């Protein structure tokens, strides 16, 4: 439901509380174990969060049977959820904008050298970020390449995904590797391809 990172973006108590409030706003009958999955924490911690939110007037506990409860958001809980969601979305938008600026700066050397026609290699989330970052930048995307046969021929943001062999027929001055996970493998692959010999290869 929410982006909770592993190393660089650590989950906070506030984020976990928001995850619980959001989940309960959608389904008040969720068990504590299910809420633990939503908030990426243990059932014991969920129990503590629920107790804290009951004390602060964000939740009311309503018995369903002898073993389970329904957790309903109060007016305060609903208001707090909206405020926290607004803050969360603002931070995510700011992070997204920061990544786009990083990509633009990484490609500035191409602009300075007058290299405008580029191919992107790797049709996944990073590629989508690059395409968004380059909107209105003057770069011309001549093609998107990907090694996965199941992707080739499909449309990705108004571009048809091509097999790497299609590079030989593309009029491009540079190739931007738009995959962090496979970056080294793709770079080595491009270095070994004659069709990439006279083209700049950029790794993000």
pLDDT of residue 11: 83
Nearest to 67 by CA among 95, 29, 11: 29
Share of the chain above pLDDT 70, in %: 97
Number of continuous H segments (helices) and E segments (strands) in the chain: 6, 8
Give residue 133's pLDDT.
92
Give the orientation angle of helix 43-55 with respect to helix 13-26, to 10 degrees: 80
The dihedral built from the CA positions of residue 63, 57, 50 and 20, taken in this order, carries a sign that is positive
The pLDDT > 90 percentage for the chain reads: 82
**Of the candidates 69, 198, 187, 203, the residue with the CA atom closest to the CA atom of residue 130:** 203
Q: State the Cα–Cα distance between residues 58 and 31, nearest whole angstrom.
A: 17
Higher pLDDT, 203 or 65: 203
Say whether pTM exceeds 0.75. Answer: yes
Give the residue with greater pLDDT, 9 vs 160.
160
For residue 5, the model assigns a pLDDT of 66
For the chain, how are helix, strand and coil distributed in percent, rounded to 5? 50, 15, 35
Structure tokens at 42: 């243990």
Cα angle: 37, vertex 39, 45; to 5 degrees:
95
Torsion angle of the four alpha carbons 159, 161, 163, 165, in this order, in degrees rounded to the nearest 10: 10
Measured at the CA of 6, the angle between CA 3 and CA 9, to 5 degrees, comes to 60
pLDDT digits (tens, 9 = 90+) for 67-77: 888 999 999 99
Q: What are phi and psi of 24, to 5 degrees?
A: -70, -25
Q: What structural domains and CATH numbers belong to the chain? A: 13-95 (1.10.10.10), 113-203 (3.40.50.720)
């Amino acid at each position: 439901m929410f982006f909770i990172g592993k190393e660089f973006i650590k989950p906070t108590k506030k984020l976990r509380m928001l995850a619980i409030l959001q989940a309960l706003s959608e389904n008040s009958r969720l068990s504590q174990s299910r809420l633990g999955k939503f908030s990426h924490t243990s059932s014991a911690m969920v129990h503590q969060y629920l107790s804290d939110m009951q004390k602060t007037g964000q939740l009311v506990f309503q018995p369903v049977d002898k073993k389970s409860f329904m957790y309903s958001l109060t007016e305060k809980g609903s208001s707090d959820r909206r405020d926290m969601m607004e803050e969360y979305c603002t931070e995510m938008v700011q992070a997204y904008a920061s990544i786009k600026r990083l990509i633009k700066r990484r490609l500035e050397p191409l602009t300075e050298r007058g290299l405008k026609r580029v191919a992107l290699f790797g049709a996944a989330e990073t590629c989508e970020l690059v395409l968004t970052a380059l909107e209105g930048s003057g770069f011309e995307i001549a093609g998107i390449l990907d090694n996965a046969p199941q992707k080739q021929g499909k449309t990705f943001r108004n571009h048809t995904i091509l097999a790497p062999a299609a590079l030989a027929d593309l009029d491009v001055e540079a190739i931007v590797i738009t995959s962090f996970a496979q970056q080294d493998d793709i770079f080595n692959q491009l270095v070994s391809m004659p069709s990439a010999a006279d083209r700049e290869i950029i790794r993000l």
